[in-house]
Structure 1
């Protein structure tokens, strides 16, 4: 099992130019950054629930990952997740391809349909059709990445033949990791996903995730890789996911000032080392 970090980078915490090398020095495989363009003041959240402060202050993930790319050599750079329903597909295709190019082919495009309805409405997106919109935009982006003269004609996206460069370094394009845990999400993994990326849910038993993995692989018809997002820094939880044959665990890194973040990373490194000793899995396990 590989190990990465998922986090919200904000103007109040550690910067990507420091975080990237710190992760690489400690042997982490990847960095996944969350995205929210903004949070409307009148967001209608579940009763009694308040969004944590980092949701309001996230950095643009592509700019931040570009900074991290410039100061690292091997760290995989992922969006976790990019809100495709709030993004122009032509511009986003260029951002993904550019990051893949400047990083030497290290970009992972994590995608999802989002859940803050007022946020997507401010982008002109109807929440009722966001799933179809996301799928169509991703299909359009794949055309832009893989064809010299790309065109697309759909319900939401429509353009005549265009030239769009750069093309991604990875062939045919950066891997797409699909978030969500519904049957619709599993169908997306089958249609265009390289991996399934569910979030760790504290109220959901890990063995229930095992049933979801089995169902997802039934839908895809293959042993599709699984990367679990936002896992707590806990050896027992890592062991439970390892038993489910999860390919990568993304430990959740709280948004903290620089020195506190580095200490948190050291604690995570110790947890991973203890897990590896227990499983005799070696450096790459």
Structure 2
């Protein structure tokens, strides 16, 4: 099992390129950046974890952060944890994904999700009630763009005829599409158009659902888990379940806030590995 970190790359904290360089040097194999274009000030949708942390509305643009991380590193997987495709134009996003993957030499993991903030979706013209089918169509449309010289897609929510778009991704057929979320239908989405599942440690029935996914799949699917605590026992459970990568969220801010948390994560990994 590999290990990584998640990070909200805020403008007032350690920059995305610098934190990526540090965690690569310290032996991590992946870094995953969160995405929110904005947070509506009305705060109608309750945050699942209580009071909404300020980092949610102080992050850099996802693909700008990913580019900075890719340029600053040589081996590290750089990823979206997760990209809110339901709030994005699929043609533009396909271009951004392919560009980062090409520039990084094929090191991008493309985590996607349906989101939780309903008014944020509405500000992008997305009906929250339709976010699940919209996600599926936009991902499939991007997969067509990544693999076809003249891509065409016709769906209920995405439609275009014969477009040219380069570069194509360095990874074939495309960067791994990791489906985030822990809702009742998420495994169906993974099986329909994903290359893996990207749940959180605290998602309900995590381990039975990993087993269910493996049992239902007719192809290899990755499982990566975010929000993992710095606990050797938790890491042992994930390794026994066949998880590909476990990642812990780092705090946003200056290095003085990050260093101790990263050290705890490294210590848990070392203990789990018997070092």
TM class, shorter-chain normalised? over 0.9
Q: Between Structure 1 and Structure 2, how many residues are aligned? A: 274
Q: Which piece of structure 1 moves more, 83-92 or 149-158?
A: 149-158
1:272 and 2:266 correspond: no
Asked if 1:30 corresponds to 2:30, the answer is: yes
1:240 aligns with 2:237: yes
Check conservation: 1:8, 1:58, Cα contact below 8 A. yes
Q: Deviations over 1:83-111 (max 9, x none)?
A: 00000000000000000011000011000
**Matched ranges for 1:202-281 at <5 A:** 204=204, 208-222=205-219, 224-277=221-274
Distance 2:184 2:219 in 1: 16
* In 2: Cα distance, 1:70 partner to 1:214 partner: 37
* Alpha-carbon offset, residue 268 of structure 1: 1.9
Q: Are the counterparts in 1 of residues 11 and 58 from structure 2 also a CA contact under 8 Å?
A: yes
Q: Which moves more between the two structures, 188-197 or 238-247?
A: 238-247
The corresponding residue for 2:10 is 10
Tell me the residue number matched to 2:39: 39
CA distance in 1, matches of 2:38, 2:273: 39
Q: Secondary structure in 2 aligned to 1:230?
A: coil
Cα distance in 1 for partners of 2:248, 2:39 equals 24
What's the secondary structure of 2:133's corresponding residue?
helix
Structure 1 stretches of 4+ with a deviation exceeding 4 A read: none
**Inter-partner Cα distance in structure 2 for 1:263 and 1:131:** 38
Per-residue deviation at 1:266?
2.8
TM-score by length of 2: 0.94
Moved more, 244-253 or 114-123: 244-253
Partner residue, 1:283: none
Shift of 1:221: 3.5
Partner of 1:88: 89
Cα distance, 1:240 vs. partner? 2.2
Tell me how far 1:223 sits from its aligned partner: 5.2
Show the 5 A alignment for 1:151-170. 151-170=152-171
TM-score (norm 1): 0.91
Q: CA RMSD in A?
A: 1.7
Aligned residue in 2 for 1:282: none
Alignment gaps of 5+ in structure 1: 279-285
